[in-house]
Amino acid sequence: MAIRCVASRKTLAGLKETSSRLLGFRGVQTFTLPDLPYDYGALEPAISGEIMQIHHQKHHQAYVTNYNNALEQLDQAVNKGDASTVVKLQSAIKFNGGGHVNHSIFWKNLAPVNEGGGEPPKGSLGSAIDTHFGSPEGLVKKMSAEGAAVQGSGWVWLGLDKELKKLVVDTTANQDPLVTKGGSLVPLVGIDVWEHAYYLQYKNVRPEYLKNVWKVINWKYASEVYEKECN
Amino acid sequence: MAASSAVTANYVLKPPPYALDALEPHMSKQTLEFHWGKHHRAYVENLKKQVLGTELEGKPLEHIIHSTYNNGELLPAFNNAAQAWNHEFFWESMKPGGGGKPSGELLALLERDFTSYEKFYEEFNAAAATQFGAGWAWLAYANDKLKVVKTPNAVNPLVLGSFPLLTIDVWEHAYYLDFQNRRPDYIKTFMTNLVSWEAVSARLEAAKAASSSSS
């Protein structure tokens, strides 16, 4: 493109930015906080409305905001060929992007009791759970134990290993998404065991939170994901 | 408590050097009741159970911390041992009517190693605010220099080869009842109203003495 020879670097960068916005590619997609499909108080008494509001409006929102900022900075660093900054930004992307990914799944993993929250898994996921864990109770016991044992902050997951075609229970630290434990892992159910997920209501008694959260787990959503991945 | 002296071999839950409501309104009685009364207590009780009947039983706490740190490949008792130590150190890092700027030799050293108290504050604040997930921010002393470090989960400067002088707990349980998600407000309150510079100075003296006696 002839213009490249005469335009100054600054002009070129400006042109690039404008053209990418106009053309819609190489621009940075901005993420937004997803709405909850239920009211903040709808998961009571298992999870208080106070926790749901702060968790969604403050914690998840902060991950979204910081993720967008990190992506913006990454875009600039990539365009400048600043490898050092690109590498430096990876932890902010992992923390905040992971936080956004994980919480977006979490809100769908929960449902009010009158919308199916707590109803045991049925269909092919229900059968798979029976096969791999003996029963839904067996799975719950395992996940609750592993969730309680997470030291510091993290998540406990029920995942599908697409390659091995089996269900797995695993934990991740901080906001690491499940895929960081294995490229073929698809999250079906994630339970947030960061203290912010339960502290105002359950204080230090994480096992009590883990006992009660199952009453609002949305197995219908997990089944949909499972069936989609299996086909 | 001196910076590097071993806490007693009996793994005691020592009460803070003030009443549980003495830090109000900056840190609530409710927070102390849970943070000291439940979290810290659990680390001590669980540590005792964990070392019972093992070669670690009866060893000084710092010995357990070093050997279970295991160069980063943490052994099971590390979490409880280090957290028991960290929390006792944390309570003693605060006092009623604390906070603000230190004076004397401590201020001189902060100015020497950070160029100003304000720069130290900025660095300490940033470390505490950006420690992702659970952890701690520290002022530490090593090789005759003061530095700010942040550590994840139960890790502390002892295992990194420096003398801890000051700490702020940034696990969510440390501030959630009083500040919810607002960790920056908690850090500001800690620095403005809670830090015991007397404790920090005493630890610095002990660290300098321990350094010179070993060199």
Chain A residues with CB under 8 Å of B180 CB are 54, 58, 196, 200
Fold of B104-213: minor pseudopilin epsh fold (3.55.40)
Q: Where in chain B is the domain with CATH 3.55.40.20?
A: 104-213
Report CB contact under 8 Å: B181, A59: yes
Asked whether residue A16 carries a pLDDT value surpassing 80, the answer given is: no
**Which of the four pLDDT bands, split at 50, 70 and 90, describes residue A231?**
confident
Q: What is the pLDDT of residue A27?
A: 72
**What is the band of B214 on the pLDDT scale with cuts at 50, 70, 90?**
low
Q: Does B10 score more than 80 pLDDT?
A: no
Outline which parts of chain B fall under CATH 1.10.287.990.
28-93
Contact with chain A for residue B39, Cβ under 8 A: yes
Average pLDDT over all residues of chain B: 94
Tokens coding B38: 């439940």
With a cut of 60, say whether residue A18 has pLDDT above it. Answer: no
Q: Could you please report the per-residue DSSP string of A66-109?
A: HHHHHHHHHHHHHHHT-HHHHHHTHHHHHHHHHHHHHHHHHHHH
ipTM for the predicted complex comes to 0.93
- The pLDDT, as a whole number, for residue A20 is 45
DSSP alpha helix (H) spans, A81-191: 83-88, 90-109, 123-133, 136-149
Shortest CA gap B160–chain A (Å):
19
φ, ψ of residue B138 to 5 degrees: the values are -135, 150
Tell whether the model's pLDDT for residue A195 goes beyond 70.
Answer: yes
Q: Residues with Cβ < 8 Å from A91, sequence gap 6 or more?
A: B132
Given this model, what pLDDT does residue B4 score? Answer: 39
What proportion of chain A, given as a percentage, has pLDDT over 90?
87
What sign does the dihedral A197-A169-A181-A118 (CA atoms) show? negative
pLDDT above 50 (res A4) = no
The pLDDT tens digits of the residues spanning B35-51 come to: 999 999 999 999 999 99
- Residue A15: per-residue pLDDT: 53
Q: Mean of the pLDDT values across residues A196-209? A: 98
Beta-carbon separation of A173 and B38 below 8 A: no
Q: How confident is the model at residue A26 (pLDDT cuts 50, 70, 90)?
A: low
Q: What is the pLDDT of residues A36-69, one digit of tens each?
A: 999 999 999 999 999 999 999 999 999 999 999 9
Between CA B211 and CA B94 the distance in angstroms is: 25
Please name the member of B79, B154, B172 whose beta carbon is closest to the beta carbon of A195.
Answer: B172
* Cis before A45 (ω within 30): yes
Q: How confident is the model at residue B215 (pLDDT cuts 50, 70, 90)?
A: low
CA B94 to chain centre: 10
Mean pLDDT of B96-107: 96
Strand ranges for chain B from DSSP E: 135-142, 145-152, 163-169
Residue B174 is given by DSSP the state G
A148 pLDDT exceeds 80?
Answer: yes
Summarize pLDDT for A88-121 with one digit per residue, the tens. Answer: 999 999 999 999 999 999 999 999 999 999 999 9
Query: If we measure between CA atoms, which residue out of B86, B75, B80, B10 comes closest to residue B46?
Result: B80
Residue B3 binned pLDDT confidence (cut-offs 50, 70, 90): very low
Q: At what angle do helices A206-213 and A136-149 cross, to 10 degrees?
A: 150
Q: Which residues of B does the annotation place in the binding site?
A: 35, 87, 169, 173
Is B41 an interface residue toward A (CB < 8 Å)? no
How much is the average pLDDT of B96-116? 97
- Residue A210 distance to chain B (closest CA, Å): 17
| B75 touches A at CB < 8 Å | no
The mean of the pLDDT values for chain A is 92
Residues of B in contact with A154 (CB under 8 A): 133
Confidence of residue A155 (pLDDT cuts 50, 70, 90): very high
Q: Which residues of A touch B177 (CB under 8 A)?
A: 199-200, 203
pLDDT of residue A19: 47
Write the DSSP symbol of residue B112. H
**What secondary structure, in 3-state letters, does B136-155 show?**
EEEEEEECCEEEEEEEECCC
Quote the CA–CA distance of A54 and A103 in Å, as a whole number.
13
Among all residues of chain B, which has the CA nearest to that of A195?
Answer: B172
Those residues with Cβ within 8 angstroms of residue B162's Cβ, 6 or more apart along the chain or in another chain:
B140, B141, B142, B147, B149
**Cα-Cα-Cα-Cα dihedral of B66, B67, B68, B70, to 10°?**
90
CATH superfamily of B28-93: Fe,Mn superoxide dismutase (SOD) domain (1.10.287.990)
Residue A1 pLDDT more than 50?
A: no
